[in-house]
Chain A
């Protein structure tokens, strides 16, 4: 009779695959998000940009890289066309209120009137707002979709990027510990 071990090969291969799937499932169960892309910019300085403001907004002086120096801040990339941003916005307004951390907004691929009207309707949590209608800054920031939020340290370096909506859980788990760390 032929050797037996070759007939065990398929079983061995599938057993290894199952072990990996099992571990992966446990990871996902514990909150690992396969969709999250680690930003290659983590730890790097924020790319240079100087964006015009929204005409008509109370503070319409725009938003540039130098504004990030001096304190911990958040940069939120959004657009009035983006449904995810609409869902995220109440959280952003509520969570950052009273946190003492300025949130700046980048209105991505949007018309300034539309951005402004949207902010008037949904509430405006932003300290500074810059518009990036042609994605030039979004590309430099490696934006894959909206909303995305960067946590920036007082030296203007990107600490961390969240490439999804900010929910209360995300705020608790991903942002607050990092902010506490930065403030030490």
Chain B
């Protein structure tokens, strides 16, 4: 019954979305206040209906109602509760429900917190949100209905894929979708602004918090996905340049560019049409990811069970939303130009350079991801584009980006002084050079070691430049430092944290790529191997039984010198339903490295096992850096300027003036 109510609520939601998409838009065109005002209650009702619908689906998963097809296919009574719940979005239909639920939440947030938005802009932005919602609710109802029933109901479900039964993956999709869908806000505001033909500082100030929130979630979501791959897949890698990983990385790159260019619009009213374009493209790339994963047109470990009918539906949605917004852009954007002029050496110049590098990096990832598909469709042969392409093209683009990101924040708006900035960054540069020197002195076997030394130098540069900028503003050694510390805007702290986090990530990525060690061997109980100052002794493996799996648990004693620092217990699990084997790596995390152990196949004697061990230098820094970046985003979001909105309108309220 609850399931049918959920289904019905979703159908009602479609009706509400259609109303939200049309009435306020017409109202804004005709300047009809009542019609425009409909946008807010509609957005709230939409969220309520979608929320109820998704809630009823989750309910079906929690109570293991196998008369619902999706529950039967993706759940099992023996699964722990958290994986019953996460199973609700571990499949195509359920994940689309999560997608629209988040869309509903974002729309309702604009309705609830958009008090100070101009009514016409709010009406139009919410109408665009309504259009997106209508498209995707229609997609779910007509091609991917999660409420389909089975009769007779099976007694037991087929269970969710065991490698997806992991806390990291329970949280990864919601985070990722909060990011993807969050960028719909920037998109809706961009389209609304194009319809109005006006982009100004106030617009940028409204768009920025939504972009920042989406960016923060996407950063954490990608980080979680990477962490999951690292801990769960048992190969010790954390990034594979898989098409679906790229699909999440492209909106991130583009969204990062948007985040920075929106600052220029806000402060200097320049780069307007570029920023609007970025807002459209960022969300378009999010949609593209949805399309690629679900249409079955390319192969990836992440692909959902796909079907071309769905693909055609999503492609139609893409053509309408992306094509439509770009037509609007082509018509309206030429009239947006103008605004502040600036010298090449300036804050704006730095941010523009940042945008160029990020956009180019995004384009190269897009090309690498789609090239096999394009080549095959045009009969140019079967081609795979692998990590060598991405590393070869992406890394060289990141180097100048990082150098710029260190200098940019120290530049003044309009016209910066490069010589002065150079002087202030002397310490950061010197430390970076020392890091390069020390690293090269310690490791210099091949050119990889020198490249890695350069990478560590860049990481030091990025982190120290971020700290230098903060130091310059707070001047901790001069009187009044405490006041400056307190009055420095949260947004400034946010930037410092995020840039610092990026530096930490770069260090982790560099060291783990260059100096990872892999040891694969057959070990009998008592056998040891030594690497990087550690001795790891295999103590044997024993059978054990878990809640919905059984298997063997190995035991490894990790010694540093003579001292036992940890006992690691990696597992080989065989899940009951579906019957599938997984490996659970066990990892010892130290500040400088991970010791990563995997228990492989048992040997004929029943006691020896194939074991894999990885020495992963600085991998923990990657996760730490991602957390710092996410924290930077959150701190920046709490900035007073964003919370109270644009002061210009507040002034206008107090002191009414004739229209400009």
Residue of B nearest to A13 (CB): B326
In the assembled complex, the Cα of A1 lies from the Cα of B579 at a distance in Å of: 66
Closest B residue by C-beta to A26:
B308
User: A34-B297, A37-B382, A38-B382 given as contacts; is B319 within 8 A of A27 (CB)?
Assistant: no
B311 at interface by CB-CB < 8 Å: yes
- Least CB distance from A161 to B in Å reads 13
Whether the Cβ atoms of A21 and B329 lie closer than 8 Å is: no
Shortest distance in angstroms between A171's beta carbon and chain B's nearest beta carbon? 22
CB closest chain-B residue, reference A8: B330
The interface residues of chain B lying within 8 Å CB-to-CB of A2 are 334, 337
The verdict on A14 contacting B295 (CB below 8 Å), with A2-B337, A20-B374, A24-B373 known, is no
Residues of the B chain whose Cβ atoms lie less than 8 Å from the Cβ of A7:
273, 329-330, 333-334
The verdict on A168 contacting chain B, using a C-beta distance below 8 Å, is no
B299, CB-defined interface residue at 8 Å: yes
**Contacts A7-B333, A15-B323, A20-B377 hold; do A25 and B311 have CB atoms under 8 A apart?**
yes
CB <8 Å contact, B374 and A11: no
B296 CB-CB contact with A under 8 Å: yes
Q: Which residues of A contact B312 (CB under 8 A)?
A: 25
Q: How far is the CA of A11 from the CA of B370 in the complex (A)?
A: 17
Q: Are A11 and B334 in contact (CB under 8 A)?
A: no
Contact B326 A14 (CB under 8 A): yes
Q: Are B296 and A83 in contact (CB under 8 A)?
A: no
In the docked arrangement, what's the CA distance between A89 and B579, Å? 18
Quote the shortest CB–CB distance from A52 to chain B (angstroms). 16
Most buried by B among A4, A11, A34, A37: A34
A11 and B323 contact, Cβ closer than 8 Å, known pairs A24-B377, A35-B299: yes
Interchain nearest-CB distance for B532 vs A (Å): 30
A18 at the interface (CB under 8 A from B): yes
Q: In this assembly, does A28 line the interface, its C-beta being within 8 Å of a C-beta of chain B?
A: yes
Residue of B nearest to A27 (CB): B377
Interface presence of A22 (CB below 8 A): yes
In angstroms, Cα B308 to Cα A22, docked, is 10
Partner of A11, one of B291, B308, B329, B382: B329
Determine the distance from Cα of A128 to Cα of B312 in the docked complex, in whole angstroms: 46
Residues on B with beta carbons closer than 8 Å to the beta carbon of A20? 370, 373-374, 377-378
B291 and A21 contact, CB distance less than 8 A:
yes
**Contact B327–A11 (Cβ < 8 Å):** yes
Q: If the complex has contacts A1-B335, A21-B291, A28-B297, are A11 and B326 also in contact, measured as CB distance less than 8 A?
A: yes
Option from A17, A23, A35 in Cβ contact (under 8 Å) with B370: A17
Q: Is B579's CB under 8 angstroms from A10's CB?
A: no
Least CB distance, B288 to chain A, in whole angstroms: 8
**Centre residue among A4, A17, A38 by max chain B CB count within 10 A:** A17
A29 in the interface (beta carbon within 8 A)? yes
How many whole Å from A21's CB to the nearest CB in chain B?
Answer: 6
- Bound-state CA distance A29–B378 (Å) is 17
CB distance from A45 to the nearest CB of B (A): 22
Give Cα distance in the complex from A127 to B579, angstroms.
Answer: 30
Chain A residue contacts of B295, Cβ below 8 A: 21, 25, 28
Report yes or no: B284 in contact with A14, Cβ–Cβ below 8 A: yes
Question: 1/0 per residue B543-582: CB within 8 Å of A?
Answer: 0000000000000000000000000000000000011100
Is chain A's interface secondary structure helix, strand, loop, or mixed overall?
helix
Query: Is B277 an interface residue when CB atoms closer than 8 A count as contact?
Result: yes
Complex interface: chain A residues within 8 A of B308 (CB): 25, 28-29
Say if the beta carbon of B376 comes within 8 Å of chain A: yes
B337 contacts A24, CB within 8 Å?
A: no
Does more than half of chain B's interface fall in helix, strand or loop, or is it mixed? helix
Q: How far is the CB of A40 from chain B (nearest CB, A)?
A: 10
CA distance A65 to B309 in the complex (A): 44
A18 contacts B299, C-beta separation under 8 Å = no
Using Cβ atoms and an 8 Å threshold, which residues of chain A touch B373? 20, 24, 34
Q: Which residues of A contact B319 (CB under 8 A)?
A: 18
B578 CB contacts on chain A under 8 angstroms: 83
Given A20-B373, A34-B298, A37-B382, A25:B315 Cβ within 8 A: yes
A1 contacts across to B, CB distance below 8 A: 334-335, 337
Residues of A within 8 A of B323 (CB): 11, 14-15, 18
The smallest C-beta distance from A36 to any residue of chain B, in angstroms, reads 9
Closest B residue to A37 by CB, please name it: B382
Task: Verify if B141 is at the interface (C-beta below 8 Å from A).
Answer: no
Q: How far is the CA of A1 from the CA of B382 in the complex (A)?
A: 46
CA distance A128 to B528 in the complex (A): 42
Check if B281 is an interface residue, CB within 8 A of chain A.
Answer: yes
Is B345 positioned at the interface, with any CB of A under 8 Å from its CB?
no
Binary per-residue interface labels of chain B (299-321) against chain A in the complex, 1 for a CB within 8 Å, 0 otherwise? 10000000010011001001100
A164 to chain B: closest CB distance in Å?
A: 12
The answer to whether B315 and A21 touch across the interface, beta carbons within 8 angstroms, is yes
A11, chain B: closest CB distance, angstroms: 4
Q: Chain B nearest CB: distance from A115 CB in Å? A: 15
Quick check: B335 and A21 within 8 Å, CB to CB? no
> How far, in whole Å, are A29 and B296 apart by their CA atoms in the complex?
10
CB pair A10 B315 closer than 8 Å: no
Write the nearest CB–CB distance from B551 to chain A, whole angstroms: 14
What is the CA–CA distance of A25 and B579 in the complex, to the nearest angstrom? 33
Contact of B377 among A4, A23, A29 (CB under 8 A): A23
Is the CB–CB distance between A83 and B579 below 8 Å? Answer: yes
Nearest Cβ in chain A — how far from B362, in angstroms?
13
B322 within 8 A of A: yes
Give the residues from 332 to 379 in chain B that come closer than 8 angstroms, CB to CB, to chain A. 333-335, 337, 370, 373-374, 376-378
| Complex CA distance for A146 and B83, rounded to whole angstroms | 29
Which A residues, 20 to 68, have Cβ-Cβ distances below 8 Å to chain B? 20-25, 27-29, 34-35, 37-38
Contacts of A38 in B (CB 8 A): 382
B315 pairs with A18, CB closer than 8 A:
yes
Instruction: Give residues 261-277 of B contacting A (CB, 8 Å).
Output: 273, 277
Specify which chain B residues have a CB less than 8 angstroms from the CB of A4 in the assembled complex. Answer: 330, 334
B291: chain A residues within 8 A (beta carbon): 21
A38 to nearest B CB, angstroms?
6
Quick check: A22 and B334 within 8 Å, CB to CB? no
Q: Once bound together, how far apart are the Cα atoms of A15 and B324, in whole Å?
A: 11
- Report the minimal beta-carbon distance from A12 to chain B, rounded to whole angstroms: 9
Q: Give per-residue flags for B375-398: 1 if the beta carbon is below 8 A from chain A beta carbons, else 0.
A: 011100010000000000000000
Pairwise interchain contact A24-B329, C-beta atoms closer than 8 A = no
Q: Identify 5 residue pairs between A and B in the complex whose beta-carbon atoms are under 8 Å apart, listed by A's number.
A: A11-B326, A14-B284, A25-B315, A28-B296, A83-B578
| Given A11-B330, A20-B378, A28-B295, 8 additional A-B pairs, CB 8 A | A1-B335, A10-B280, A10-B281, A11-B329, A14-B326, A21-B318, A24-B376, A25-B297
Please name the 5 residue pairs, one residue from A and one from B, whose CB atoms are nearest each other, closest first: A11-B326, A29-B308, A24-B297, A7-B330, A25-B311
Chain B residues close to A by CB (< 8 Å)? 273, 277, 280-281, 284, 291, 295-299, 308, 311-312, 315, 318-319, 322-323, 326-327, 329-330, 333-335, 337, 370, 373-374, 376-378, 382, 578-580
